[in-house]
Amino acid sequence: MTDLRTAIARKRALDGLFALLALLALLTGLLALLALVVDLALDGAGRLSAQFLTSYPSRVPERAGILSAWVGTTLVMLVTALAAVPLGVAAGIYLEEYAPKHWLTDLIEINIANLAGVPSIVYGLMALGLLVYRLRLGQSILTGGLTLALLILPIVIVATREALRAVPGTVREAAYALGATRWQTVRDHVVTAATGGIITGIIVGLSRAIGETAPLVTIGALTFIAFLPPPPVQPNPPWISFDWLFAPFTVVPIQMFNWISRPQPAFHANAAATGLVLLAMTLAMNAVAIYLRYRLRRRLAW
Amino acid sequence: MRRSRRRRIGERAIEGALCLAAASSIAVTLGIVSTLVGEAVPFFQQVSLLEFLTDTMWTPLFAQARFGILPLVAGTLVTTAVALAVALPVGTLAAIYLSEYASRRVREVVKPILELLSAVPTVVYGYFALLFVTPALQRLIPGLPGFNMLSAGLVMGVMIVPYISSLSEDAMRAVPMHLREASYAVGASTFQTAVRVVVPAAVSGLAAAYILGVSRAVGETMIVAIAAGMQPHLTWNPLDPAATITAYIVQVSLGDLPHGSLGYQSIFAAGLTLMAITLVFNIAGHLLRKRFREAY
């Protein structure tokens, strides 16, 4: 009897010990995130100011800022979104709503799974060889935006497919029963119902693209830019100009990388402040995505 | 009648356009492979494959250029091993906790926060590794150089945790409830159920998670480029500085190499090596994941 009791007690103790260990592992991950944010804030919060956001990089760390970097990031993201969203959503719609089940569809599916696992720097090499030199787009905003668009394409496709898959078949059948064509069904009912999920995927994809450094370093984005690209709206006819697409550029993560690589601690403070800006952007985008996903799950009551 | 015909043509056109969009993903793959191979072929015409695979020095930019990929592969393997030493236990245990111990409410809050770890830009992790983790480690290990693979690997491990915990948790939650109930019915504790029933049942899913984690670590660039240094150097000691395959590509890209030179081509040969390594892992992970989905 006492043997049994001790055996049970030992089993319980072991169970508690293991639960504690597993909880500790979980906390390690969360603490690392906290340490990272606190470290950046301690090092960089002092440098965050209006001056920092409105100045060009400079040899004097106190006068330097990230104006050209965040303008570059905004323009590159514009190109990325304009290229990746239509292409990725269309591909997702085809694979989920149209594609017949045969070898080509299988091939496309395996291919997308593989593309999602290709290291980002390989996309950079592809862009360097193909976009920069063979298509002669140069080391421009257009090249950078397209590179990141290809990089996040699998994310957008997979998210679109998952959102479409969650729409029940009854919605489609109801539309068909009223005589709608396939495209009318998809456009007016299925995609409309899946919009929230698709937008969540797009936000996650773009937040990934904002933080990407390696592929843009590879295509030769510059690290020191003390001017802005030509504005898209001109004072003279024809008023709209696309010259900015072909302008050299830098982005926020590359500016940060550049400052980390310098030996002076004052530049490291600039890097930390830039990191805070970058982190705020990506975490805010992810928070929006998490919130959307949460709301969608509650509202979905098919 | 005419209207329905026009409608049919319109439907066909739209289907064609959508199909073209889906097929564009194959064009991306073709673009990647053709560019890497196209630039690497002239490289291998000047450097023999034997030298590439067996030479122990990688100095393409020196006057006496040597082209042995081994130092870069060693750097990649060491940083990956350190990262996995962190990410596998932490990720697996976190997954077990979330799947077997945590209440629904805890899971709903903690899981998204944990996944934020993979949303942090890698250049920010690089900063953290170089300017926070390395100085902390230097206090523990006197004489540790400012650039070292240990610190880069540790931080990379933290970055990979959510990839592993998320996929592992999915695999464990896919294990049917009746297996757990049977285990509890014969008097097993949560710990015994988790380790002897749930984990073995989810093993192919766990393996897929680990393999995808390895592939992430091998392809990770900015953390190692910032914190492990960029000097190619054949060493298996994680306390040393060394360059990985990815760090070498960054180092060359930062300089101004003329298009078409041997140094320029060398980054494509390095990229092809990287692509080959990750492709093997990705395909293995994909196959395993398919298997665990079909299991029940």
Mean pLDDT for A116-139 is 90
pLDDT of residue A54: 86
pLDDT digits (tens, 9 = 90+) for A163-177: 999 899 999 999 999
pLDDT of residue A300: 60
For residue B207, tell me if it sits in a domain. yes
- pLDDT(A46) > 90: no
For residues B200 and B167, state if they share a domain: yes
Hey, is A75 helix, strand or coil?
helix
Task: Give the ipTM.
Answer: 0.89
For residues B151 and B38, state if they share a domain: no
For residues A30 and A118, state if they share a domain: no
The CATH number of the domain where A211 resides is what?
A: 1.10.3720.10
For residue B61, tell me if it sits in a domain. no
Q: Phi first, then psi: what are they for B58, rounded to 5°?
A: -130, 95
- Amino acid code (one letter) for A167: V
Lookup: tokens for A118: 């290709």
For residues A31 and A53, state if they share a domain: no
Q: At what angle do helices A265-299 and A2-44 cross, to 10 degrees?
A: 120
For residues B107 and B222, state if they share a domain: yes
Identify the band that residue A185 occupies on the pLDDT scale cut at 50, 70 and 90. very high
For residues A218 and A263, state if they share a domain: yes
pLDDT of residue A230: 78
For residue B62, tell me if it sits in a domain. no
B268 neighbourhood in chain A, CB within 8 Å: 125, 129
- pLDDT(A140) > 80: yes
pLDDT of residue B2: 64
Share the mean pLDDT of chain A. 88
Hey, is B242 helix, strand or coil?
coil
Residue of A nearest to B190 (CA): A15
A25 neighbourhood in chain B, CB within 8 Å: 89-94, 97
User: Is A90 close to B128, i.e. CB distance below 8 A?
Assistant: no
Q: What is the percent of chain B where pLDDT is above 70?
A: 97
For residues B107 and B252, state if they share a domain: yes
- pLDDT(A204) > 60: yes
Q: What is the percent of chain A where pLDDT is above 70?
A: 98
For residues A139 and A157, state if they share a domain: yes
Residues A157-178 as b or e (16 or more Cβ within 10 Å = b): bbbbbbbbeebeeebbeebeee
For residue B63, tell me if it sits in a domain. no
| Residues of the domain holding B41 | 2-46
For residues B37 and B77, state if they share a domain: no
For residue A300, how many other CB atoms are within 10 A of its CB?
13
Residue of B nearest to A150 (CA): B28
pLDDT digits (tens, 9 = 90+) for B56-70: 888 877 777 888 899
Q: Between A99 and A209, where is the model more confident?
A: A209
Cis status of the peptide bond prior to B176, with omega within 30 of 0: no
Identify the band that residue B292 occupies on the pLDDT scale cut at 50, 70 and 90. low
**Chosen domain end from B46, B61, B78:** B46
* A218, A275, A286: residue with CB nearest B127: A275
pLDDT of residue B4: 76
Alpha helix (H) residue ranges in chain B: 2-46, 49-54, 70-96, 104-116, 122-128, 134-140, 149-173, 177-185, 190-193, 199-201, 203-219, 222-227, 245-254, 262-294
**How near does any CA of chain A get to the CA of B234, in Å?**
22
Distance (Å, whole) CA B51 – CA B53? 5
Identify the band that residue A37 occupies on the pLDDT scale cut at 50, 70 and 90. very high
For residues A224 and A78, state if they share a domain: yes
- pLDDT(B294) > 60: no
For residues A188 and A163, state if they share a domain: yes
- Degrees, nearest 5: CA angle B5-B9-B14: 145
pLDDT of residue B281: 86
Distance (Å, whole) CA A254 – CA B186? 58
Asked whether B59 and B74 are in contact (CB, 8 A), the reply is no
pLDDT of residue A134: 86
Q: How many separate domains does chain B show? A: 2
Mean pLDDT for A22-28 is 89
For residues B14 and B83, state if they share a domain: no
* B124, B221, B259: residue with CB nearest A120: B221
Residues A214-234 as b or e (16 or more Cβ within 10 Å = b): bbbbbbbbeeebeeebeeeee
For residue B54, tell me if it sits in a domain. no
A107 neighbourhood in chain B, CB within 8 Å: 26
The CATH number of the domain where B249 resides is what?
A: 1.10.3720.10
pLDDT of residue B295: 52
Query: Which residue of B117, B123, B278 to mutate against A (max A Cβ within 10 Å)?
Result: B123
Identify the band that residue A61 occupies on the pLDDT scale cut at 50, 70 and 90. confident
Asked whether A205 and A136 are in contact (CB, 8 A), the reply is no
| Residues of the domain holding A36 | 2-45
Q: At what angle do helices B2-46 and A67-93 cross, to 10 degrees?
A: 120
For residue B265, tell me if it sits in a domain. yes
Lookup: tokens for A103: 């070898």
DSSP B114-150: HHHTTTS-HHHHHHHIIIIIHHHHHHHSTT--SS-HH
Mean pLDDT for B259-276 is 90
pLDDT of residue B286: 76
For residues A143 and A283, state if they share a domain: yes
- pLDDT(B101) > 70: yes
pLDDT digits (tens, 9 = 90+) for A62-113: 888 889 899 999 999 999 999 999 999 999 999 999 988 888 888 888 889 8
For residues A6 and A56, state if they share a domain: no
Residue of A nearest to B93 (CA): A22
Distance (Å, whole) CA A297 – CA A299? 6
**How near does any CA of chain A get to the CA of B23, in Å?**
7
For residue B186, tell me if it sits in a domain. yes
For residues B130 and B23, state if they share a domain: no
- Degrees, nearest 5: CA angle A7-A12-A13: 95
For residues B201 and B254, state if they share a domain: yes
Cα B185 to Cα B102, B190, B201: the distances in Å are: 20, 11, 18
For residues B28 and B143, state if they share a domain: no
Distance (Å, whole) CA A141 – CA A139? 7
For residue B128, tell me if it sits in a domain. yes
**pTM of the complete model:** 0.90
For residues B233 and B157, state if they share a domain: yes
Identify the band that residue A1 occupies on the pLDDT scale cut at 50, 70 and 90. low
pLDDT digits (tens, 9 = 90+) for A226-276: 778 877 777 776 777 777 888 888 899 999 999 998 888 889 999 999 999
For residues A198 and A248, state if they share a domain: yes
Look at residues A99, A81, A221 and name the one whose alpha carbon lies nearest to residue A155.
Answer: A81
Q: How many separate domains does chain A show? A: 2
| Cα-to-chain-centroid distance, residue A5 | 55
Partners of A233 in beta bridges: A240
For residues B13 and B78, state if they share a domain: no
For residues A63 and A106, state if they share a domain: yes
For residues A182 and A63, state if they share a domain: yes
Query: Which residue of B210, B222, B252, B274 to mutate against A (max A Cβ within 10 Å)?
Result: B222
Share the mean pLDDT of chain B. 89
- pLDDT(B213) > 70: yes
For residues A161 and A18, state if they share a domain: no
For residues B6 and B124, state if they share a domain: no
Hey, is B220 helix, strand or coil?
coil
Q: Is the dihedral of CA B286, B288, B290, B292 positive or negative?
A: negative
pLDDT digits (tens, 9 = 90+) for B170-204: 889 989 999 999 999 998 888 999 989 999 988 88
Mean pLDDT for A211-227 is 84
User: Is B123 close to A210, i.e. CB distance below 8 A?
Assistant: no
